[in-house]
Structure 1
């Protein structure tokens, strides 16, 4: 009986394999010749387009703009989290340091270097990692929540420049678009990140709320000049940190392709 059942089973299996309708052939997809080359060329073209966009943004040729191009999200992420962003920060700070060291200060306490805070001294990259690296429209409420946490890390090359200009004898003024209501947490965050001994921390008060950053910072620099200060250096990640009235003898633009502030 066993051998009879085995014979029947083998006969069934043989019959099944002889009919392609029961066990169809596997699907074989044939890609066009050179598809890998075409994909590589497309990736390279996209990278070039996004590099060109970033250059234009940094050179202030795109102003104003509200968010990064959607197709460049991966590129901006790779730039901000990779060696490129760090190398650019180091180059800017090194050049600023060489310039600062070349100056002969007056010794009267009136030689000033201005620093912006966000994306200049403190990095908000942890926030932007969670908000699309600039792909999302800026949300001031969410950003204020991040500021209140007081957890922004130092931008290390800027910290090195900051310490150098202090050691050289500059007065250091911090000029930021942050609101006056954030003074305490900003001081706490700066100290935690390693910054010390600034002479002035200037934030927006009620009178300056709603003003463009270029106007607000121009007015504050003009006040410094009227008080007899000489603005010899200015570091910021936005053109609105650097342009306008009472500009410094030399300004240094840090990279920031994630957002634009007029």
Structure 2
């Protein structure tokens, strides 16, 4: 009955016994033909990217896989792995740490770039953005990697190569570099683009909406979360907390 079959409506997958098709393409024609980045694009967008577009998306996926066991998502997954849960639960614990602060900067940077592109006035848009959201501008500066996040220059080089090859138009490269210059002038010191700003350029150049920038980042970081959760499983340990047991927290008798 149509009232049952129409309960879920999708253009992503069509399936019946012995047949599976994604976006109208039989799965057997995709297996061994499409790369994983191309498959991500197909699932999200409904078409297959050019080789240059796929390489650019793949570069963003590779760059964001991990940022070490002090990154909250990685730390949480490793701690969970010592608590007797399965690998998938450890991964879910880490993935659920990817929120607006830890994991959301790429989405926010895409939104900022798109605001600049729509308004056509970088300085005014940046001023209004900071007035609404605060001093921090997503995608620029890094508390650990100084003076430069080593991932960002390489990613921007690849975007420029893609632009020169006709795989994107490069307008978001100019916007991001304009923001970088404006922030540096205002601070009186370099405020370089970080990985979030650079991957945001890639997502914006490839035409992904801002929320998908975070979603794709989560796909990438899931690889690091998986690797660390598995490594911790192999290393063992029981109920590991955020610090060694010899260290204690600060008790504040004044309360909250």
Task: Give the TM interval when normalised to the shorter protein.
Answer: under 0.3
Q: TM-score, normalised by structure 2?
A: 0.25
Q: TM-score, normalised by structure 1?
A: 0.25
Structure exhibiting the larger radius of gyration computed from Cα positions: 1
Higher helix share: 2
Higher strand share: 1
